A and B are shown apart, each in its own frame.
Chain A
Amino acid sequence: MMTPPIAHFGHWYISLPVFMGPVVALFGYIYLQEWRNKRRERKKSKKGA
């Protein structure tokens, strides 16, 4: 009999985000830093003009 996919779904659905937590956190942090850097540079160039 075929194992219903939902029987295993919970295991990897829960464990994957837990393992990938640092990747998401790091991605968010770097993205935010880059966005702030770009905004600062944009402001600087506006002031210069």
Chain B
Amino acid sequence: MKRRRAAAAVALVTVAAAGIWPAAALAHGLVGRADLPIPPYLFGWAASIVLVVSFIALAALWKQPRLEDARERRIFDMPRMVDPLCGLIGVALFGIAIYAGLDGTKESNQNLLPNLVYVHFWVGFVLASVILGDVFRVFNPWRAIARAVGWVSGRLGIRSPLRREYPEKLAWLELVYTQKANPRILVWISIGYAVVQLAAMAVYGVERWTQDGDAFSVYFNLFSRISVFVKRGRTVYLRPLLSGVTDMPLKPGSVALLCAAIGSTTFDGASNGPLWASLNPDLQSFFKTLGASANVKIELAGTVGLAACVAAVGLFYHLGVRGMRTVGRGHTTRELARRFAHTLVPIMFAYALAHYFSLLIYQGQAAGYLASNPLGNGSNLFGTAHWGINYGVISGAGIWYVQVGALIAGHVSGLTLAHDRALTVYQRLRDATRSQYWMLVVMVGFTSLGLWLLSAVRGAG
């Protein structure tokens, strides 16, 4: 017992030291992209040590499940007007973006639509969901429209056609499709998506479709489960960090969805690095020999790369679960894969934050001038059209530290969730700990892979 406590103490001190270390490195005034004090691979090794030490600390100090069925504390009631007001803002932004796509310039960096969709919506809502809870639900424009139709038809005494009651293709759009930033094409994709959502809400019910069918609602809801805030009805509750992830609804395809989300971010990172740079031309040549045109061969090569990354992530997770199955009896691989699927949620966030942080920080600033000039036609509605992007807001080294920190925090969170769940799945603490050896390998693997991809992009840039 004494040995275990000593090991835990050493573990905590090491984790604390590792947490302080990047700050100490920053104090040296590092500003350049290549001005890291040590080679990037040593960050990977340090991250692996932090994970192993966290694992030991969890085994020694975390002996009861604490996140499953955690208690929530009521904080306050939202005013009745907040939901409709946020919905109205969502609809207004959607309308402006569509108008910019239809009537604005075809230059993607001068048009509000691509920036709003790929930066503020796709990445911004991920961060907002983790910090504030499921904010997309209240700003969701198609849900707001459907609810408004329901409310008006209720007042008029007629039966609403919109009763109250997956994102792999979308990742393909963002990562592979060559015309993804063309405002004229993106606007019709956005309109088409909205029409499909409204039609589906009419068939399945607004709340039911929002909860289970709308890919973005499902996607952002997963991130919001990490948050300490949750809104039920009009009441906002406070809950322990990560506890919301433990009651993630498990439906057919949940594991595949999470692997696809991590795999698509992996491909996004890999596609900017040397590995893809060496494989991509060969793949494109192959598809060219099959008769594919210039754009099609790029998209087909990208599709193969995306599918390979998703498959690699799925295989890696599956191997971890297979290892877990060797401990205890009566658990099938399929059952364990589903019961531990929620541990991938913080990893999904870590990958998203690490890969898109610089995009959000730099390209997010474009909202300043695009708000004044959404169509790119020279207007200056708010007097901010002359604003630019300040690339000095954070240094290259600063971004790297945020990326490393995000990956470590995400994977330690994944380990914590896995340990907590193992304590309920296995009867004995020893079995619970032993079962997680392989999950530790998976977490260290995901961390190393993430850092390798990021360092490859740094090297390429």
Contact = CB atoms under 8 A, between A and B. Distances in A.
Interface of A: 2-3, 5-9, 11-12, 15-16, 18-23, 26-27, 30, 33-34
B441 A23 contact: yes
B278 A22 contact: no
A2 B455 CA distance: 25
B274 A8 contact: yes
Contacts of A23: 48, 441, 444-445, 448
Given A20-B452, A21-B45, A30 B277 contact: no
Given A5-B282, A26-B48, A16 B441 contact: no
Contact of B441 (A5, A18, A26): A26
Question: Quick one: which of A7, A26, A34 has the most chain B CB within 10 A?
Answer: A26
- Give the interface SS of chain A, mostly helix, strand, loop or mixed: helix
Interface string B50-77: 0010000000000000000000000000
A34 B448 contact: no
Given A30-B437, A34-B437, A19 B452 contact: yes
Contacts of B45: 21-22
Nearest to B438: A30
Contacts of B44: 19, 22
12 contacts: A5-B279, A5-B281, A8-B277, A12-B275, A15-B456, A16-B452, A19-B44, A19-B449, A20-B449, A21-B41, A22-B44, A22-B448
A26 B278 contact: no
A33 to B, nearest CB: 8
A15 B48 contact: no
A8 B48 CA distance: 27
Contact of B448 (A2, A8, A20): A20
Contacts of B448: 19-20, 22-23
Contact of A20 (B274, B445, B459): B445
A26 to B, nearest CB: 5
B362 to A, nearest CB: 26
Given A22-B45, A22-B48, A30-B437, A15 B452 contact: yes
B90 interface: no
Contacts of A27: 441
